[in-house]
Structure 1
Amino acid sequence: MISELPQEVYDLVIDHLWDDKVSLAACSLTCRAWLPSSRTHIFRDIHLKSPSACFRFKNLLETSTIAPLVRKMAVQAYHFLHKHPALRDEDTMWESRIPTLLSLLPGLIELEIACLSWSTLRLTAAKESAFLSRLAHLKHLTLSDVHFETPAQVLSVLLAAPGLETLRFDRVYCNSSLPCVSLESLVCRIPKACTPPPPPSSYAPIFPMSNAGGQALRNLTLRPASPPNFVIDWLLATGEVKLRNLNVHWRDRRNTTALCALLSAAGPYLEHLYMELTNGVAVQVQDEMNFGLLTALRSVCFEGFVLPDCGTCFSAMISQLSSPFLKRVKISLLARWADDLRTLDWKQLDTALSRERFAGVEVTLHVNIAMSRANKGVDARALVELSLPRFQKLGILQVRCT
């Protein structure tokens, strides 16, 4: 093919097709000059969801030079899904090949594993060493519906990935009946030891403190059923938590001190906070946490509040916010009866929101009222708007009713 344009121009055009696999495949077959740019995008993101996909990818790695091009791998098993019963019954031997495949990908920086029992990886000592060494290069890790057999397995993964920037634990299960282990007892890549300062507040970590990595973490998501203490211990062991985005769905009332310790440690750096709390957890967090420590907040979202039991919690939390960078506040309320809205201390909330630091701030109140004849004809939107007159002169009020 005779080129009338510089190759760089063609490469830029191909780059714009990064998410169009059909067009990229066509470009890769057009001429040799277009092949490198096309392959870069075609093999950047690999999804393995079945034995056949795993075996095809394995053969491709053995017969080509695409391994350095793979930047992200997503592994989808079906151990805990009600859908795809045929796939759930398929041979699980293919999952044991995943660690070996990962060890062959030098450019891998993002890994997603879903619906997997960790035991099916069948990690021998040699395979585990190669597998964990590859995790050291990860920047983004997502574990969703993953079941670990021991706490040591969870900690080994965390300790092996000191360069993580994004970590998402979504329903990660662990057999908590087994004895805990110390961070130092695990064989994995750990930076040079140092003596970090003790964690903030009165939180006592389950595991001894250690310089265990996590300094690069900026985005953290903890959803229900995940073992939060392991992650929090791992982070607090760094001595300085520089999270920018924190998304937590907290259900454990016995463990709110750990959550407050994490928030306090991340206070000077945290910019975006999403918290979904049960009523009991919200009450305890209100008593234990000072949200005034979150001095870099730009947006905050509180969800899970059920009226009338939790009427004072979010008002108290809002009154503590002091970040000069705050731009958006969202509060989600759930009420069985429309009259439950009247139990709120709207005057206290209006006073908290009418402070000068809330000038220009957009506040969204999402009111969810149960469908009932008793709730018909009640204008929740008007009730909220009439209850916050001072703030509406200062900031932006958005009311959504469902």
Structure 2
Amino acid sequence: MSTLPYLPYIPLEVAENIIDHLGEDIWSLRSCALTCRGWNRHARYHLVVSILVHSREDLHSIHDYFASNPHMASFVRSLSMLPVYGDKRPGCLLEVLPVDLLKLLPNLRRYCIVGVAWNPVIRIAFHDTTFIRIKTYLHVEELHLQALRFRTGAELARVLIALPQLQRLEYEGLKVDIKTADTSRFRDKCNMLSEVTVCT
């Protein structure tokens, strides 16, 4: 007659510390979430603290999840928009602000727009109503822009000043086609911005 192997008891504080060290290892976090009820909440927190959206379908399913689980929405701190490789219309994801989702995320602090490094010809252009929506619904302190092209420096400046609480800007692979545009009228508009990081 076989007996079950002895499984040592791990105090919850120790388990939570282990989960904290898993960082962004999604598969391990999922396993921890399924281990027991004690581990589930802490592991699920790490699974939703940073959300990555690859497509419009992702956007809808994430919205539906948080609409039906509003207690989980308060854990989200970072939202990243990153089209999948080979997407023929990445602007559909990058240039549209997911207002319905943003309304559900009261503690969002970081917003990332990651462009299409495999197709540097595509330029990002926000509609005027998007700037209004950014100002109304996107109350983030950090903005990360990567692999994006703007037509003018003024368009980039409009994105920054539409974020009144922006404190930290991080960018990588940012291109501006017309660098001679007058941006002097945008000076001193980002009063809270205190840190700019150029990633290489």
TM-based fold match above 0.5: yes
Q: Which runs of 5+ in 2 are unaligned?
A: 1-7, 116-122
Match of 2:60 among 55, 58, 64: 55
Provide, for residues 245-277 of structure 1, a one-character-per-residue CA deviation record: whole Å limited to 9, x for no partner. xx7xxxxxxxxxxxxxxxxxxxxxxxxxxxxxx
Offset of residue 55 of structure 1: 1.8
TM-score by length of 2: 0.70
Q: Quick one: distance in 2 between partners of 1:172 and 1:131? A: 26
Distance 1:150 1:62, change over 3 A: farther
Distance 1:91 1:207, change over 3 A: closer
Offset of residue 42 of structure 1: 0.8
- Contact persistence 1:103–1:130 (CA under 8 A): no
Match of 1:73 among 76, 79, 84: 79
- AA aligned opposite 1:154: L
Offset of residue 104 of structure 1: 3.1
* 2:160 aligned partner: 158
Provide, for residues 64-88 of structure 1, a one-character-per-residue CA deviation record: whole Å limited to 9, x for no partner. 132222222221137xxxx61xx21
Distance 1:118 1:102, change over 3 A: farther
- Contact persistence 2:94–2:124 (CA under 8 A): no
- Contact persistence 2:147–2:173 (CA under 8 A): yes
* 1:297 aligned partner: none
- Contact persistence 1:51–1:94 (CA under 8 A): no
Offset of residue 213 of structure 1: 1.8
- AA aligned opposite 2:158: S
Offset of residue 38 of structure 1: 0.4
Q: Quick one: distance in 2 between partners of 1:5 and 1:74? A: 34
Match of 1:220 among 173, 197, 200: 197
Offset of residue 176 of structure 1: 5.8
Q: Quick one: distance in 2 between partners of 1:165 and 1:128? A: 16
1:210 aligns with 2:188: yes
- 1:268-347 aligned at under 5 Å gives the runs none
TM-score by length of 1: 0.39
Offset of residue 17 of structure 1: 2.1
Looking at both structures, which has the greater relative contact order when contacts are Cα pairs under 8 Å and sequence separation is at least 6? 2
- AA aligned opposite 2:61: R
- AA aligned opposite 1:143: L
Q: Quick one: distance in 2 between partners of 1:208 and 1:91? A: 25
Offset of residue 118 of structure 1: 3.2
* Aligned residues with identical type, % of pairs: 21
- AA aligned opposite 2:109: I
Q: Pairwise CA RMSD of aligned residues?
A: 3.6
Larger radius of gyration: 1
Q: How many residues align?
A: 185
* 1:88 aligned partner: 88
* 2:176 aligned partner: 173
